[in-house]
Structure 1
Amino acid sequence: MDRREIAGLLAYMGRVDPRTRRTDPGELRDQVDQWQELLGDVPLNTESGWDARTAVRTHAVSSPYPALPVDVARQWHKHSADRLARHTDPLPSADPDDVESWRAELLGTRQAVLTGQRPPNEQRAITSGATVDPAVEARLRAIGSVIPPKVRAELSRFRPTRAAREAAAVEGRPDPLAVRCEWCHAPAGEPCRNRRMGLDGDARGNARRATPHPSRLDLATAELQRQETAA
């Protein structure tokens, strides 16, 4: 802000909070000098929604103390930092091999966002919250799964273990991978292993089996029966 804008801001502040009004020409000059010293790089207003008069009014209704120039400066820096935090650097148009031009354009864009000369380049973030977009929720209800049945069928040949587990769940059959295998010690969710032991007691092989060990299927059957009985 220049001296004229500072004087106008002080006049507005004097109307909002009469305690800050100065009538003596010397005191008023000193007040303008003090405010311009701290707010010389702070704009009076920008197209991004910043207005120093709003900052003065906000302070007047939220604090029992008269506004100081640092109070306005802090609100401006908070406003500009929030804008920069929402900004995603666009791809510079400069030649990437020209490092200086590339860097200058990138920093120039950030400075323009920081000072309110241009809006931040915002990208929609991937969220992991509980809120689901209504359109996505309706689509999931329609197809019953994140992966449509046709696509799931196409993928089944690339992941036979998962396809077998899904088929077992649909048909109400026991899922061997739902329990730990006591034979090869494969944890729940992992396929069984062909473990060959050498004469020294060390494992000589650890290849995945296409089918689970029979004892694991027995354990899964017993667990399914137990759950049905408990239900």
Structure 2
Amino acid sequence: MDRREIAALLAYLGRLDPRTIRTDQGEARDQLAQWHELLGDVPMATAHGWDARAAARQHIRISPYQILPADIARPWESYRRERLGRHTDPTPSVDPDDQAAWTAELVGTRRAVGTGSAQPAQYRAITSGRRDPELEARLREDGSCIPPAVRTTLAPYRPARAAREAAVSQGQPDALGVRCEWCLAQAGEPCRRRRIGPDDGARGTAPRATPHPSRLDLAAARQAQQHALA
């Protein structure tokens, strides 16, 4: 606030609490200088919820003590912290190789949010709203959110899942749908093989591209039981 805004704020406070009024010209001048020194970086109001007059009115309404500059500065600092706490830095629009410009834009954005001249930038949350009809049709057509071409490209990098999907598509038992009694892999996880060191001690495990035979037998038995119940 500049000196004129401070003077307007003090006049407003005088109407709400006559104890803040200074009738002596020298005292009024000193009061104006003091408040300006302490609240010069606090805006009178912003477009996004801050109003120094509202903060002052709230203090006078609930506190029996005469208002001080700190009673406006404290709510302002809380307002700034709350906004910056909700802010996530958006990617600057400048060349990322220009470190000075990149940093300047980040700082400028944070300053605008902190001073109330811009709204905090937040990541969009995942909602539970209705999905796009085109996406629904695509999922019904492909059967998965991963297109077949992409699934084929990824197959060499996830052999266990690729083998599982191939077996299920051919009507074979889903071995990963049951727990492996041999390596104790849980349902949905690939079987693992032990790594043996020179001293014949186990040094760790590694995922197998194919499940253990006993797990296949257990999956086949469960599939047969389900078919019998159907």
Q: Which residue of 2 aligns with 1:79?
A: 79
Q: Which residue of 2 aligns with 1:6?
A: 6
- After TM superposition, the score normalised by the length of structure 1 is 0.65
In structure 2, relative to structure 1, the CA distance for the partners of 1:155 and 1:65 (3 Å cut) is same
CA–CA separation in structure 2 for the residues paired with 1:121 and 1:196? 52
Q: Which residue of 2 aligns with 1:153?
A: 148
Give the one of 184, 187, 190 matched to 2:185. Answer: 187
Q: Which residue of 2 aligns with 1:36?
A: 36
User: Once the two structures are superposed, what CA deviation does each residue of 1:77-123 show, in whole Å capped at 9, x if it has no partner?
Assistant: 222333444252552647845x555544543444344334x42562x
User: Which runs of no fewer than 5 residues in structure 2 stay unpaired?
Assistant: none
In structure 2, relative to structure 1, the CA distance for the partners of 1:101 and 1:208 (3 Å cut) is closer
In structure 2, relative to structure 1, the CA distance for the partners of 1:95 and 1:192 (3 Å cut) is closer
CA–CA separation in structure 2 for the residues paired with 1:142 and 1:93? 39
Matched position secondary structure for 2:161? helix
In structure 2, relative to structure 1, the CA distance for the partners of 1:228 and 1:32 (3 Å cut) is farther
In structure 2, relative to structure 1, the CA distance for the partners of 1:60 and 1:164 (3 Å cut) is farther
CA–CA separation in structure 2 for the residues paired with 1:2 and 1:45? 12
CA–CA separation in structure 2 for the residues paired with 1:190 and 1:201? 26
CA–CA separation in structure 2 for the residues paired with 1:94 and 1:199? 54
Q: Does 1:24 align with 2:44?
A: no
Measure how far apart 1:12 and its partner are.
Answer: 1.2
In structure 2, relative to structure 1, the CA distance for the partners of 1:70 and 1:121 (3 Å cut) is closer
CA–CA separation in structure 2 for the residues paired with 1:95 and 1:143? 37
CA–CA separation in structure 2 for the residues paired with 1:70 and 1:47? 22
Q: Which residue of 1 aligns with 2:123?
A: 125
Q: Which residue of 2 aligns with 1:213?
A: 212
Q: Which residue of 2 aligns with 1:70?
A: 70
Q: Is the 8 A contact 2:17 2:60 kept in 1?
A: no
- After TM superposition, the score normalised by the length of structure 2 is 0.65
User: Which runs of no fewer than 5 residues in structure 1 stay unpaired?
Assistant: none
User: Once the two structures are superposed, what CA deviation does each residue of 1:192-224 show, in whole Å capped at 9, x if it has no partner?
Assistant: 4567989974579x8865543332123335567
Q: Which residue of 2 aligns with 1:88?
A: 89
Measure how far apart 1:10 and its partner are.
Answer: 1.6
Q: Which residue of 2 aligns with 1:177?
A: 176
In structure 2, relative to structure 1, the CA distance for the partners of 1:95 and 1:167 (3 Å cut) is closer
